[in-house]
Structure 1
């Protein structure tokens, strides 16, 4: 199975001003492997992009990677506005 953590970090780190703040957490449901992307508050807009185009492109790349089994991958870009960073 693809190492999605590394794939996501490889795509996102060059886009942000605070690459050391990029972290990924995981959750799993009966249908999905969820990867929650956390960035510095100041970098959320860079990852989402105008009208969400960058986020959609990142998701397209991640979703096209091979997954074993019937579950699908879901990428959630966490909005860190409520956190103190």
Structure 2
């Protein structure tokens, strides 16, 4: 799956969860081992995205990180949610 496809996958999974979908911002950063996708949403939507005890965030990570190539030398995909507390 191409990198832009991963971003569109994230958007299609996250937008239905948000009350303010226009505030959604996805930033991609690459480093040595990972393709990092950082999700920023409105502060009042963070809880909806994380879910109780992190269950929604864990499910999103499972889906997104499962799309990565299985080649041994490929970069891993990471999904990070900016929770506006730090």
Looking at structure 1, the residues matched to 43 and 82 of structure 2 have their Cα atoms a distance apart, in angstroms, of 10
Contact 2:14 2:49 in 1 (8 A): yes
Deviation at 1:80, TM superposition (A): 2.2
Count, aligned residues: 82
Gaps of 5+ in 1: none
State the Cα RMSD in Å.
1.5
Looking at structure 2, the residues matched to 66 and 44 of structure 1 have their Cα atoms a distance apart, in angstroms, of 25
Is residue 62 of structure 2 the alignment partner of residue 39 of structure 1?
Answer: no
The runs of 4+ residues in structure 1 deviating greater than 3 Å are: 66-69
Gaps of 5+ in 2: none
